[in-house]
Amino acid sequence: MKPGKLLASAAEWAAPFTGRARALLFVASLLIAAGAVLHSGQGFLAVGLGLSLFLLVERLIFTYVSGAAARLGIRYQVEKPLVDGEVTKVYIEVSNLARVPIEHLEYYDAPPPVLKPLREPRASLSLPPGSSAKIEYPVRLAPGRHRWGRARIVVSDYLGLFRSEREVDAGLEVRVPPRPLVSGRSRAVIVATPQPGGMASLRRRGVGTEFLGLREYVPGDEPRYIDWKSTARTGRLIVKVFTREAVMRVAIVVDGASSMYRGFIGETKIEYAVRLAAALAEYLGRRGDTYRLYYITGGDAVTYTPWLRGRSSTLHVRAFLADNLEWPVGGPRRGTAARPWPSVTGRDRYEALARALITTLPRGNAAIVVISDFSESPTRARIFADSVEPLLLMHKVVYALIPVTLMFELERLSGLAAALYRVRQFSLLETYAEIIRILKSRGVKAVATGPRDLLDYILYRLEHMRGVIS
């Protein structure tokens, strides 16, 4: 690297004096002043000038070093596969592209706060010209889209006289798909569902593909279903009866309101919501049903997938959730990032949801499963009920699955701490009770509970709608 370019690189990152350098400069000034005033002060003058010259040369050298540090090559890499809840490693390669050695460099990385580093994300490096060094640290993954912050680079000299800092944009973003929830009922239902073509058969008579039995002909039966052998044997018209295949249409809605991010990292309501949505998608895919996923962003927009079907559709769902779940940093974001999914906006988040559902749901029966705490506000619950009223008039069935903050946070507490926490949050339970009352009075089938029951509840309800459970 040419000296002129190196100095130009260091111009925006000048080498500031540390407190130690300022003290040394002050001493040098005193010695020079004493040498100029005193009769026999040539020694003081020489020492003072020598210290000043030393500081000047040291600063010039450090300016070149800081210029080299300003042109570092930094490359990030994350160990794959990215699995929700598992530990992965982050690798950072730092390269000295200049011909100047960098002896004292400290690198402070800034991983997303949600991804818990299991070791301090920092390192002290020494980089000869043209060399590289690697930094690695493990993090525990959480579902969603995560972007690294600006890393801090600190360079100092041997004596600690000069110190320069700068920030660099890591440019690293990862998307972690959520893992599906599994409970006793969900495991039993999903394991028992595989049928030819992924279809679940109802124990109801109708036109289908699976033979159920024989019965006597009644007016209105199609002649092509007459069983002629049985007719000849009995002397009466006998027709074949087939099972009717059950195909449901389900809309799964995940609310990304800021209140859904409350709780301990790893067990927040939003993490539970996307894992529950992934589990429902897996169940519906195995059942052969048609479904679509909707996500209400931190702002007032609703994004959604195309209509999905089949077991392989689960991968599409998990990618959609990883794209749209964006953790707030310093406050909830408004979801302005461009995504490859269609979106609908409105004056209110629930108005936008209703508009999206009305324009995308087909005619006929359909189930709408909304996973939301409605911002823990009865007012918001009332707005939601008003927004989905046209859907209820269209004979859609709306389920509201409400994760209760108290139940999630009690997962980490026990004994006296849990008892005290229940007492302090009693008013919040009254709020949830009011939300349930409002929704049920408007025809929404609502339930509010903790992380262990919501999946079982909605699977039972969907099976009941299907007719498998009486």
Pair 109, 165 in one domain: yes
pTM of the model: 0.77
Pair 309, 426 in one domain: yes
DSSP 112: -
Q: Residue 336: is its pLDDT beyond 70? A: no
Pair 16, 54 in one domain: yes
352 is in which domain, residue-wise? 184-196+247-466
> Can you read off the two tokens belonging to residue 381?
């619950």
> Can you read off the two tokens belonging to residue 103?
């002896």
Tell me the C-alpha distance between 368 and 279, whole Å.
Answer: 15
pLDDT, tens digit (0-9, with 9 covering 90-100), for 180-196: 988 655 555 554 454 44
pLDDT, tens digit (0-9, with 9 covering 90-100), for 263-275: 778 788 899 999 9
Q: Does some domain include residue 179? A: no
Choose among 321, 341, 339: nearest CA to 281. 321
Residue 288 φ/ψ region, left for φ over 0, alpha for ψ in the -120 to 50 degree band, beta for the rest: left
Which residues are paired to 93 by β-bridges? 75, 134
> Can you read off the two tokens belonging to residue 46?
């020489």
Backbone angles phi, psi at 42, to 5 degrees: -60, -35
Pair 45, 87 in one domain: no
Q: How many CB atoms lie within 10 A of CB 429?
A: 15
Side chain identity at 233, as an amino acid letter?
R
pLDDT over 90 percentage in the chain? 37
Strands 122-127 and 343-345: unpaired
pLDDT reported for residue 324 = 92
Torsion of CA 18, 19, 20, 24, to 10 degrees: 100
Strands 301-304 and 290-296: antiparallel
Q: Looking at the 3D structure of the chain, how many domains does it have? A: 4
Pair 83, 213 in one domain: no
pLDDT, tens digit (0-9, with 9 covering 90-100), for 68-119: 888 899 999 999 999 998 999 999 999 999 888 998 999 999 999 888 899 9
The confidence band for 10, taking pLDDT boundaries of 50, 70 and 90, is: very low
Tell me the C-alpha distance between 172 and 9, whole Å.
Answer: 24
Q: Which of 11, 46, 69 is the last residue of a domain?
A: 69
| Better-predicted residue by pLDDT, 40 or 334 | 40
Q: How many helices (H) and strands (E) does the chain have?
A: 13, 20
Tell me the C-alpha distance between 92 and 148, whole Å.
Answer: 12
Tell me the C-alpha distance between 255 and 299, whole Å.
Answer: 11
Pair 296, 399 in one domain: yes
- Lowest-confidence region among 110-114, 186-190, 360-364, 369-373: 186-190
